[in-house]
């Protein structure tokens, strides 16, 4: 840490506005790692109060309500049950149809892995910043292209919130962002208001292979661990410097460091770690490491071997974001089994389906259906009202948003889907998707089928 | 001699291996594909072929009886375009002569997974196009649980047009078509005078022109991997000009040319989950591609999903999920099943495959649910009249780490 940067950054600003110069912080000054540089400008779409009747409702909180009703008012769920009073509300008859909370995709690259890929993407994709194994200073939201057609496809698949994560080539991938898949001209207009960020970390094959290829960082699993310890040690010093400065004990204003900002944010507990890990042994090492350093792992992502250590994950309150059936495409993915989510769940853990793909991100309901069916074949009782949590309330929990989304209880945001059939069937389609009580997608009404600028003007029928 | 001995030992070593016999599957809901569904069907398997599918049919004396009450029974599924059994999928110095049959590994861990998901046959094809636009020759595999899985080598010639092989053709799509047409011309010259020394300006080697012999004779299908409408129309033109049997693989924008494909009897093997412009060739990708093609009368089959990542790792469940998605987007159910059975059988010329018609190959799957629901799974699979074990590495891992074993005194490696 350089201590000779008094006339840097904010310190200069303070001088120019004539504040007390040089002697400690302004009363309201906060450590830089607590700031949101790109605040949300999201506004809900136009909405009316709506009553859904005659639906099979899975509320995401463990309940199933047959022939149920749900009332949305001012963008919130206000009541769920039977015979609700709903003066003035628009009524939707959902006879034979199902209602669930909106799907939350905990692991998306939409907006950064923008199709069609180009020759530039081959060399320099926005998914991962590759100049350094420590890309903690990057915020993936600054790369999100809201014109990615994948956002509208996810929405049509019933997704109402998604975490866009940086890729897994760096050890510290950077900060994630939580978006609503309501396409808009700017990222900020899609950004989930009041939601925090996560920090992506990666263990195993991807970072070490990338580092070896680029000759720039740790080339082994043990090297990755040492690297992580060193980076957090620096962040501790950085936090200390800021604490001293903000407490008025040291006049030298520390220099803003984007990397250490993020790591410090993690150490304060404000930014949970979203950790890419495949193997059981690697997850166990990361858990111990997190205890020693003092960071919180919200979820292991991919986690194809989570089933081997399901009780350990449950005991540490770490979710597992998994696929239903991907396996084998690399060595650390060799032991993937279809019962993974079910076994994690059975141990009392937090299982989630994730996409990692703009294709799969449209079918997370089917993913959950496949994973649950595998669990049932292995003898586990997995009723739909429980399985729905894998794609709704569990990811809400891992994102720190469980008090707002992921379950249909009074007071929560009215993010929900009316499905044409049992949502775990491949034949089910999202008929209507509500976000904050507003229709964001309607399968039978073209006015509510957003498409990106990229897809305009490409001849008749080019629209999906 | 040693090889024969090893093969014999392998037969002894496989548990549950059984010789084909007479089997009666009773009380089934049979979906024979070639004819209407039959409820409470009795399906008689006579060694390696199907004898009959009859409602309330009688069971022959001495037959093994399987009660399939409430269960759907279908023909074994056919993966129309996979890379099962292969690791080596690019052609090196060879073009049309590259031949995957020599690289097929019957012990690949992917094969039992595919079979446990209902796949009993698969076209396995080469990728890449080192000698643009040719990828080389694919082979049809029969997923018998033991013995040789190579059923039909040199079953089709594959070429890749557009993004996939553009680099090898000087960056030009136009060059790809010229190279392809020229190759067919060189093959015709060679076929007419095999002993003549090739002219100095011949582009292809002798093995390459020789490999194209089946294509120009109209015996070997020419599978053209292409997504863009313009390329699909070029393929229709090529089929007419050169009198070759063209199959479209990919076909994201094939729906644009559906009626012309139908008129030319050109089938399409498509990925039903493609609804994003993954490349600039696929800007018109849409989920009802399969429905629109089938409606126009095009024979369709399914490749595995556009995720690429799991091209053949989940060849069975992925294809079934794709079929379900196609049906959810307008494809009639019967056509969805057909595109995994009789469709690919027709495309690849497998005369006795893909149906439960009398005399058809005894590749049969009994399902625990709707086969187009990826959540369903086979309970019994017959390949060539022999019941195949459904265990995989994955089921072995599942059993080792099952929640009920959490309190075993010894750690998992001892289980």
Encode pLDDT of B336-361 as tens digits. 999 999 999 999 999 999 999 999 99
pLDDT, tens only, B117-130 = 999 999 999 887 77
Does the residue B400 lie in any domain? no
Query: Are B293 and B313 found together in one domain?
Result: yes
Instruction: Go through A413-443 and write b for each residue having 16 or more CB atoms within 10 A of its CB, e for each that does not.
Output: bbbbbbbbbebbbbbbbbbbbbbbbbbbbbe
Does the residue B1 lie in any domain? no
**In CATH, what number is assigned to the domain containing residue B154?**
3.20.20.140
pLDDT of A20 reads 42
Residues of chain B contacting residue A116, judged by C-beta atoms under 8 Å apart? 277-280, 282-283
CB contact under 8 A, A326 and B310: yes
Contacts of B354 (CB under 8 A, 6+ apart): B33, B75, B78, B341, B342, B343, B344, B345, B346, B360
Contact B252, B227 (CB under 8 A): yes
Query: Are B371 and B252 found together in one domain?
Result: no
Query: Are B115 and B51 found together in one domain?
Result: no
How far apart are the CA of A170 and the nearest CA of chain B, in angstroms? 20
Q: What percent of chain B has pLDDT over 70?
A: 90
What domains lie within chain A, and their CATH numbers? 44-101+407-464 (2.30.40.10), 103-405 (3.20.20.140)
Query: Are B203 and B334 found together in one domain?
Result: yes
Instruction: State mean pLDDT over B326-332.
Output: 97
Q: What percent of chain B has pLDDT over 90?
A: 82
Dist CA B411 CA A315 (whole Å): 19
> Please, which pLDDT band fits residue B6 given cuts at 50, 70 and 90?
very low
Interchain contact B87–A (C-beta under 8 A): no
pLDDT of B165 reads 60
Q: Which of residues 394-413 of B touch A (CB under 8 A)?
A: 394-395, 397-398, 401-404, 406, 412
How far apart are the CA of B214 and the nearest CA of chain A, in angstroms? 34
Helix, coil or strand: residue A14: helix
HEC string for B262-279: HHCCCCEEECCCCCCCCC
pLDDT of A15 reads 34
In this structure, the strands spanning B150-160 and B222-226 are parallel
CB contact under 8 A, A426 and B277: no
More reliable by pLDDT, A440 or B173: A440
φ, ψ (nearest 5 deg) of residue A218: -60, 140
Dist CA A164 CA A179 (whole Å): 7
Q: Is the pLDDT of residue B370 over 90?
A: yes
Does the residue B401 lie in any domain? no
Chain A CA closest to residue B306 = A359
Query: Are B19 and B165 found together in one domain?
Result: no
More reliable by pLDDT, A129 or B199: A129
CB contact under 8 A, B328 and A428: yes
Q: Is the pLDDT of residue B216 over 80?
A: yes
Does the residue B328 lie in any domain? yes
> Please, which pLDDT band fits residue B147 given cuts at 50, 70 and 90?
very high
Instruction: Go through A351-375 and write b for each residue having 16 or more CB atoms within 10 A of its CB, e for each that does not.
Output: bbbbbbbbbbbbbbbbbbbbbbbbb
Interchain contact B415–A (C-beta under 8 A): no
Query: Are B103 and B20 found together in one domain?
Result: no
pLDDT of B305 reads 62
Query: Are B87 and B144 found together in one domain?
Result: yes
pLDDT of A459 reads 66
> Please, which pLDDT band fits residue B372 given cuts at 50, 70 and 90?
very high
Instruction: State mean pLDDT over B174-182.
Output: 94
pLDDT of B12 reads 40
Inter-chain Cβ pairs, chain A and chain B, closer than 8 A: 129
Q: Is the pLDDT of residue B11 over 60?
A: no
pLDDT of A407 reads 98
Distances from the Cα of B27 to the Cα of B59, B65, B70, B334, B415, angstroms = 11, 11, 7, 21, 38
Q: Which of residues 323-342 of B touch A (CB under 8 A)?
A: 324-325, 327-328
Query: Are B118 and B27 found together in one domain?
Result: no
Query: Are B310 and B367 found together in one domain?
Result: no
Query: Are B163 and B281 found together in one domain?
Result: yes
CB contact under 8 A, A464 and B287: yes
CB contact under 8 A, A307 and B401: yes
Dist CA B345 CA B353 (whole Å): 6
Does the residue B157 lie in any domain? yes
Does the residue B95 lie in any domain? yes
Cα dihedral value A126, A131, A132, A137, nearest 10: -50
Compute the mean pLDDT over every residue in chain B, rounded to the nearest whole number.
Answer: 91
Contact B220, B156 (CB under 8 A): yes
pLDDT of B77 reads 98
Q: Which two tokens stand for residue A312?
A: 């350990």
Does the residue B162 lie in any domain? yes
Query: Are B114 and B231 found together in one domain?
Result: yes
Q: Is the pLDDT of residue B16 over 70?
A: no
pLDDT of A99 reads 98
Chain B CA closest to residue A308 = B401
CB contact under 8 A, B285 and A464: yes
> Please, which pLDDT band fits residue B196 given cuts at 50, 70 and 90?
confident
How far apart are the CA of B56 and the nearest CA of chain A, in angstroms? 30
pLDDT of A14 reads 34
Whether this model's ipTM surpasses 0.85 comes out as: yes
Residues of chain A contacting residue B375, judged by C-beta atoms under 8 Å apart? 366, 369-370, 372-373, 424-426
B383 bridge partner residues? B386
Q: How would you classify residue B390: left for phi > 0, otherwise alpha for psi between -120 and 50, otherwise beta?
A: alpha
| Per-residue pLDDT tens digits of chain A, which is 464 residues long | 333 333 333 333 333 333 344 556 666 678 888 789 999 999 999 999 999 999 999 999 999 999 999 999 999 999 999 999 999 999 999 999 999 999 999 999 999 999 898 888 888 899 999 999 999 999 999 999 999 999 999 999 999 999 999 999 999 999 999 999 999 999 999 999 999 999 999 999 999 998 888 888 999 999 999 999 999 999 999 999 999 999 999 988 999 999 999 999 999 999 999 999 999 999 999 999 999 999 999 999 999 999 999 999 999 999 999 999 999 888 999 999 999 999 999 999 999 999 999 999 999 999 999 999 999 999 999 999 999 999 999 999 999 999 999 999 999 999 999 999 999 999 999 999 999 999 999 999 999 999 999 999 886 555 54
Does the residue B139 lie in any domain? yes
Contacts of A17 (CB under 8 A, 6+ apart): none
**In CATH, what number is assigned to the domain containing residue B372?**
2.30.40.10
Q: What pTM value is reported for the model?
A: 0.93
Range of the domain at B178: 78-347
Q: Which residue of B375, B391, B404 to mutate against A (max A Cβ within 10 Å)? A: B375
Which of A308, A358, A427 comes nearest B324 by C-beta?
Answer: A427
Domain count, chain B: 2
Helix, coil or strand: residue B326: helix
Query: Are B314 and B277 found together in one domain?
Result: yes
Q: At what angle do helices A221-246 and A205-214 cross, to 10 degrees?
A: 90
CB contact under 8 A, A462 and B283: yes
Interchain contact B313–A (C-beta under 8 A): yes
Q: Which of residues 110-149 of B touch A (CB under 8 A)?
A: 110
């Amino acid at each position: 840490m350089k201590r000779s940067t008094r006339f840097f950054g904010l310190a200069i600003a303070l001088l120019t506005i004539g504040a007390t110069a040089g002697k400690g912080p302004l009363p309201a000054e906060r450590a830089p790692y607590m700031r949101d540089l790109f605040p949300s400008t999201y506004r809900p779409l136009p909405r009316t109060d709506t009553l859904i009747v005659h639906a099979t409702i899975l509320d995401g909180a463990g309940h199933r309500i047959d022939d149920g009703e749900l009332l949305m008012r001012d963008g919130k769920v206000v009541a769920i049950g039977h015979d609700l009073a709903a003066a003035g509300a628009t009524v939707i008859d959902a006879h034979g149809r199902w209602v669930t909370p909106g799907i939350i995709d905990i692991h998306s690259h939409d907006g950064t892995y923008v199709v069609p890929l180009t020759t530039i993407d081959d060399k320099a994709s926005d998914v991962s910043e590759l100049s350094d194994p420590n890309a903690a200073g990057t915020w993936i939201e600054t790369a999100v292209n809201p014109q990615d057609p994948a956002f509208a496809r996810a929405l049509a698949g019933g997704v109402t919130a998604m975490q866009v994560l940086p890729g897994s080539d760096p050890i510290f991938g950077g900060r994630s962002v939580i978006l609503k898949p309501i396409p808009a001209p700017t990222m900020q207009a899609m950004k989930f208001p009041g939601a925090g960020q996560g920090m992506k970390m990666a263990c195993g094959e991807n970072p070490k292979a990338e580092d070896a290829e680029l000759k720039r960082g740790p080339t082994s699993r043990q090297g990755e661990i040492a690297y992580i310890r060193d980076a957090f040690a620096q962040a501790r010093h950085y936090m200390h410097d800021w604490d001293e400065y903000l407490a008025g004990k040291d006049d030298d204003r520390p220099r803003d460091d984007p990397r250490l900002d993020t790591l410090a944010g993690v150490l304060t507990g404000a930014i949970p770690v979203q950790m890419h890990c495949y193997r059981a042994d690697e997850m166990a090492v990361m858990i111990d490491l997190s205890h020693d350093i003092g960071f919180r792992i919200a979820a292991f992502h991919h986690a194809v071997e989570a089933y081997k250590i399901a009780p350990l994950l449950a005991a540490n309150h770490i979710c597992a974001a998994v696929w239903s059936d991907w396996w084998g495409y690399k060595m650390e993915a060799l032991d993937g089994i279809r019962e993974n989510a079910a076994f994690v769940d059975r141990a009392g853990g937090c299982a989630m389906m994730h996409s990692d793909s703009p294709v799969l991100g449209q079918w997370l309901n089917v993913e959950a259906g496949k994973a649950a069916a595998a669990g049932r074949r292995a003898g586990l009782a997995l009723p739909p009202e429980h399985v729905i949590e894998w794609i709704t309330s569990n990811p809400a929990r891992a994102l720190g948003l469980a008090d707002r989304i992921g379950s249909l209880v009074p007071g929560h945001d009215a993010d929900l889907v009316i499905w044409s059939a049992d949502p775990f069937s491949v034949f089910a389609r999202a008929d209507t998707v509500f976000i904050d009580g507003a229709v964001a997608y309607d399968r039978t009404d073209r006015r509510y089928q957003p498409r990106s600028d990229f897809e305009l003007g490409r001849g008749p029928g080019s629209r999906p | 001699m040693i090889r024969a001995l090893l093969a014999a030992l392998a037969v002894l070593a496989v548990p549950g291996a059984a010789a084909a016999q007479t089997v009666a599957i009773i009380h089934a809901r049979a979906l024979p594909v070639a004819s209407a569904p039959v409820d409470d069907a009795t399906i008689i398997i006579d060694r390696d072929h199907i004898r009959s599918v009859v409602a309330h049919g009688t069971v022959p004396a001495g037959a093994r009886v399987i009660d399939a009450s409430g269960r759907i029974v279908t023909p074994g599924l056919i993966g129309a375009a996979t890379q099962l059994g292969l690791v080596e999928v690019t052609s090196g110095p060879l073009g049309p002569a590259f031949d995957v049959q020599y690289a097929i590994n019957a012990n690949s861990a992917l094969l039992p997974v595919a079979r446990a998901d209902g796949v009993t046959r698969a076209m396995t094809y080469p990728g890449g196009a080192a000698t643009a636009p040719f990828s080389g020759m694919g082979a049809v595999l029969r997923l018998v649980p033991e013995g040789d899985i190579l059923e039909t080598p040199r079953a089709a010639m594959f070429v890749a047009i557009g993004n996939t092989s553009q680099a090898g053709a000087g960056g030009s799509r136009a060059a790809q078509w010229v190279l392809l047409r020229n190759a067919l011309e060189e093959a015709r010259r060679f076929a007419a005078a095999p002993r003549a020394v090739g002219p100095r300006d011949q582009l292809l080697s002798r093995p390459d022109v020789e490999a194209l012999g089946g294509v120009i004779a109209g015996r070997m299908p020419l599978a053209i991997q292409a997504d863009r409408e313009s390329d699909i129309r070029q393929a229709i033109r090529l089929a007419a000009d050169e009198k070759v049997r063209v199959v479209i693989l990919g076909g994201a924008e094939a729906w644009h040319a559906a009626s012309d494909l139908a008129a030319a009897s050109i089938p399409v093997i498509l990925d039903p989950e493609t609804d994003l412009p993954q490349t600039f060739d696929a800007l018109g990708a849409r989920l009802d591609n399969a429905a629109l093609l089938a409606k126009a009368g095009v024979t369709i089959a399914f490749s595995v999903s556009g995720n690429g990542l799991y091209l053949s790792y989940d060849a069975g469940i992925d294809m079934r999920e794709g079929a379900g998605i196609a049906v959810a987007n307008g494809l009639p159910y019967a056509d969805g099943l057909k595109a995994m059975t009789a469709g690919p059988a027709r495309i690849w010329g497998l005369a006795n495959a893909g149906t439960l018609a009398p005399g058809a190959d005894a590749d049969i799957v009994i399902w625990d649910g709707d086969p187009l629901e990826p959540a369903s799974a086979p309970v019994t699979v017959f390949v060539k009249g022999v019941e195949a074990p459904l265990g995989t590495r994955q089921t072995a891992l599942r059993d080792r780490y099952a929640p009920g074993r959490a309190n075993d005194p010894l750690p998992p490696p001892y289980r």
